[in-house]
Amino acid sequence: MLLDKWAKQPNYKYTNDQFKSLRQDLRVQNIVNEFAVEAYQTHGRIAVEIGDLSEFNQCQTQLQEIYDTKPHLAINKDEFLAYKVLYLSATNNNSGLVKILKILSTKDRESKGVQFALSVHFAVNNGDF
């Protein structure tokens, strides 16, 4: 229902408030399932689309916690790893990038999205764009 409303009449303030409320309910009630992952991912994507890096980061942080503790729920993990690399690059968080590069698995590194995000980071970092 919320996504239908967003698709028909995108009102970020309303949608953001609704997703924040949903995220809070999920957290307080300790709900960690596919629905929770979908809620965090959808809110994260909308936040990226709008350019709200703060909200994106909150969603990304929760997703990373879920991915780490419940690997079977790591749906679209590579997509959100790529977003995280781009986020860290956009916020000039080089120590965060170094940290994430150390923990990326071979499978993560082979993801086209992560490879693209890293190439964007290195191009921007080297002024090669």
Place of tokens 């909200």: 55
Kindly write down the DSSP assignment for every residue of 32-87, as one continuous string.
Answer: -SHHHHHHHHHHHHHHHHHT-HHHHHHHHHHHHHHHHH-GGG-TTHHHHHHHHHHH
Q: Is the pLDDT confidence value at 49 over 80?
A: yes
CA angle 82, 105, 44 (to 5 degrees): 25
Span 81-126, pLDDT tens digits:
999 999 999 999 989 999 998 988 999 989 999 999 999 988 988 8
Structure tokens at 22: 């949903």
Query: Sign of the C-alpha dihedral, residues 86, 88, 92, 97?
Result: negative
Indicate if the pLDDT at residue 42 is higher than 80. Answer: yes
d(CA 14, CA 50): 13
- Model pLDDT, residue 2: 85
